Structure 1
């Protein structure tokens, strides 16, 4: 498996790659993972890996090969290009030393990982199976980063190269299908493999956790957990907090926009920033909030489903989605029945939804209760991993090589 993000990273794509690799290892497979150095979501190199150019370690029965790369503290098209280029060059120059694999699986993004995985599969003449968690070409064009249009064109070419060499392509949501097909992938080679809820259920009383965090019982707490990047458009939460000092807002996590958000919130006393919770404590912190927020900029064409959403559902609290009405996030919120939708980048609409939930606690509890039920029905870990088992089994049963997959298209 090639996945730039991997444990100990505990948000974003990392947990899915880790749990999948460890699942296959537990079933007796010899799993090797080519990964980057831990850096997400803070976009700062994990101090435990400082000064290391390469590392080989064992985690959960999986052999992890790490390669050094740049870690841009600020996102620009050039810095992101250097990040991807450094990943690709180091991964191709020093591939893992391992027996010949039966298949190569990749998690997209990153672009570098996808291209490196395709090249490794080509070298060994074995099937290449990418799983599309997001598409960088579309994301770059919508990111607001300077040079985004040029970056999008380069990213799309890299995605076309990698996906065109796949035996089968997994996508985590149906909204990706048109984009993947537009990159030249035959529809018959696309398989739906939704993500799962990768966190445990809450285990402590809400009141106990709220008291420990200093959240008064009499105040409504709106929590956003996860990456603080450009795509999320978290300014809407800062501005909503400014509109009503009686509602508390909490931004938990890190990202390249955290400093700018802290500056914007300097005069907003009812907005707090917290570091990411420890893995064991994370479900209880989510469950202690009154409302769990997911936000995106209005310009974002939302195809993916943020990893935080599956965790939110498991926490049993109502989800408030400030996102475009058409897209993966809105689809999942509607399908789950576990939350409400408001227009993106509209702090007044977001605040009105928070007030309506506060005014009817029973309705809010009913919305929240639908989240765990939806997880049990559609987003269980066993179901998610089973779908990826089926994807890999289909490829291996076909005996399809990279070259055969290309010829079929």
Structure 2
């Protein structure tokens, strides 16, 4: 259904490889935003694949309406993230099917592309050139900047230069670009995106979904045998953007501690490295758990006493870990190993919601991390204070409705129409 068929409701098509019911971070945030906009009177459509974030296809229909959002799932391979070849094949098949749909399907007031897979904004560029379709970008991360920073591509090599040129063209042609913070904004401006087209809106969590839960009221603590344990958790993707040198060293130093337990949750390219390290050193207070379903996050995130975050220095402004807002929502302190000069580092320090160990500034980052873990472990009042600071800041600035209202205002300004909210 296009705008004319929806009583002049602004029509928006979001494009991303993942969407509900998948649990990829971009899928969850896009689902939140799409459903919020639909409830506010927008005519919302989503173009995605049937592929699961990890591997395989989901048993979902090609088209359906869910919570007011029209979902279209194109045909694409679903080899998953296990191999580079499989991932590239998934990307290529999704590009092909998506571009065909965009060029032959209905037009919209705006197409908004995310950045999974990389270079997805080029779909908007082509649609603009061939159909005059207006488009914007929700920049969740930067490519091929991430691949260059991770050492997968050489900065001066031809593939990187070509991908930079294509990516930059996509960004410069967009009517607007939503970035995730000041450091990403700076990088996008350096790519040639005008400042008046850049809009900072952070990602979020939901106050009704993630909130502080006392350990004695948390069923996961007992189910996993964590009663009486001080849980140091790393939850989420263990990707190439993250560093674990200091974390692994501290895990080894604290091995055998009667109360401190390191719990990793999720998947990622570095999972095998972390598990191998734990096995090689026969660590007794370590476990690696699979992702929890979204409905269980209300228990899995508060299950921790402190949450670990890591980011490589060269990734500042390229990747912005959204997990920080879940940590803050759960009322738990964040302990980050990474650059202070990054979106996450500055948020933690600005709101006094944890500690940042910056390896580029701390002469002994391993010792600094070790000291911070023991400080939070031994000081109940400090742990409570940091967690409460984080929760308060989350409600003020990083809650779903707060951020989605900013998106609503941006899109209203672009289409110059005030939609009528849907009456439940």
The normalised TM-score by structure 1 is 0.87
Unaligned runs of 5+ in 1: 399-409
Per the alignment, do residues 257 and 249 of structure 1 end up closer, same or farther by CA in structure 2, a change over 3 Å counting? same
> In structure 2, what is the equivalent of residue 254 of structure 1?
267
Between stretches 343-352 and 288-297, larger displacement belongs to 343-352
> In structure 2, what is the equivalent of residue 214 of structure 1?
225
Q: Identify which of 227, 230, 233 aligns with 2:237.
A: 227
SS at match of 1:391: helix
Shift of 1:235: 4.8
> Does the 8 Å contact 2:241/2:312 carry over to 1?
yes
> Does the 8 Å contact 1:9/1:39 carry over to 2?
yes
Q: Identify which of 320, 337, 346 aligns with 1:331.
A: 346
Shift of 1:297: 2.7
> In structure 2, what is the equivalent of residue 202 of structure 1?
211
Q: How big is each residue's C-alpha offset from its partner over 1:140-197, in whole Å with a ceiling of 9 and x where there is no partner? A: 1111336676454343223212112111221121212221122221112212222222
Q: Identify which of 187, 190, 200 aligns with 2:198.
A: 190
Unaligned runs of 5+ in 2: 1-13, 418-424
> In structure 2, what is the equivalent of residue 269 of structure 1?
284
Give yes or no for the alignment of 1:60 onto 2:67: yes
Give yes or no for the alignment of 1:241 onto 2:260: no
RMSD: 2.5
> Does the 8 Å contact 1:7/1:14 carry over to 2?
yes
Give yes or no for the alignment of 1:162 onto 2:173: no
Give yes or no for the alignment of 1:350 onto 2:369: yes
Matched residues in 2 for 1:195 and 1:393: separation?
19
Per the alignment, do residues 69 and 157 of structure 1 end up closer, same or farther by CA in structure 2, a change over 3 Å counting? farther
> In structure 2, what is the equivalent of residue 290 of structure 1?
305
Matched residues in 1 for 2:160 and 2:351: separation?
32
Matched residues in 2 for 1:159 and 1:136: separation?
7
Matched residues in 1 for 2:406 and 2:22: separation?
23
SS at match of 2:42: coil
> In structure 2, what is the equivalent of residue 13 of structure 1?
26
> In structure 1, what is the equivalent of residue 422 of structure 2?
none
> Does the 8 Å contact 1:296/1:344 carry over to 2?
no
SS at match of 2:408: helix
SS at match of 2:114: strand
Matched residues in 2 for 1:293 and 1:83: separation?
31
Matched residues in 1 for 2:314 and 2:106: separation?
45
Q: How big is each residue's C-alpha offset from its partner over 1:209-240, in whole Å with a ceiling of 9 and x where there is no partner? A: 222221131x3210011112121224543332
> In structure 2, what is the equivalent of residue 145 of structure 1?
152
> In structure 2, what is the equivalent of residue 381 of structure 1?
400
> In structure 1, what is the equivalent of residue 11 of structure 2?
none
